[in-house]
Every structure is written in structure tokens, then in C-alpha cells.
Amino acid sequence: MKIIPADPAGAGALREIIKSRPQSADWTEEQVLAEISNPASVVLAAEEGEKLIGFISARAVMESAEIDNFAVIAGYSRRGIGTALIENLFGVLRDKGVKEITLEVNEHNNAAVSLYKKQGFKTAAKRTRFYGNEDALIMRLEL
């Protein structure tokens, strides 16, 4: 498995990953393409052989960044792919001068919350009923 910058040619595959994971942000293929093309965005993909198996997306503005989408295709969970994606993202963002990363996650998405905590994120706030009847956690990390 290797981590690579996402390419517009892989937008359809990234959309399929999104569809396999209902807790990720439900972007259309056009939204994936827009994010890959956005100069403020960093979109990394995990590739195994010729197959894209995960991705992470963040937007950086000056010294701050926000992770806005992150998913590993169903069937590839718990293999270190998410950790590799997030750690590579940290390196790219540090190179851009980012000092703080935030994200929003469903408080009941235990796998994601656990991964973020292992990476050093702390809960900074809670958005009540952000996902219908479920709350969102706002998490923050200083790089």
C-alpha cells in the first residue's frame, strides 16, 4: 500500500469509497473533482496495486486546516490504512506551515473517534443534534 496525491482520474473510485462508507461526507464525483482541483485542498489517496482503497481530504488556510472527508473502503478497515493516510496528511500540512487541524465527527463513530484520539486530537466542542438526533464532536490537534 502507498499514499499518493489524489488525481482527477481517480475521482470516480473515490466516489465509490464514499458510497461504501455512509459516515463519510457524501460528495458527488463533481465535488471530489472540485476538491482535488482546489489549491487550498490536500487530497491524499491510499493505493494497493492499482486500486484506490481510501482517501483523506483537508483544506488549509494559512496556519489552520480542517479535515473535511476521510474514508477507507469497506473491507479494508483495521489494516493501518487510515493511520497511514492521516500521518501522511500531517506531513503535507506541516510542510504548508499548518499549526492546527480541526475536524468534525459523529460522536457515535467509535472507530473514527478512536483513531483521532490515538493521533492526538482532543475534543474541543460538541454540536448538539448536528446529525439529526446525533451529536458531532469538534476535535482539534496542534501540529
Report if residue 45 sits inside a domain: yes
pLDDT along the chain (143 residues), means of 10: 95 92 87 95 95 96 96 87 96 97 93 94 93 91 95
Residues 6+ apart with CB under 8 A from 15: 27, 28, 29, 32
Report if residue 80 sits inside a domain: yes
pLDDT for position 137: 95
Report if residue 89 sits inside a domain: yes
Distance, in Å, from the CA atom of 26 to the CA atom of 28, rounded to the nearest integer, reads: 7
Residues 6+ apart with CB under 8 A from 5: 43, 44, 45
Report if residue 130 sits inside a domain: no
pLDDT for position 45: 97
**CATH number of the domain where residue 97 is located:** 3.40.630.30
In the chain, how many domains are there? 1
Cβ-in-10-Å burial (0-12, 13-18, 19+) of 51 comes to: exposed
Report if residue 24 sits inside a domain: yes
Report if residue 93 sits inside a domain: yes
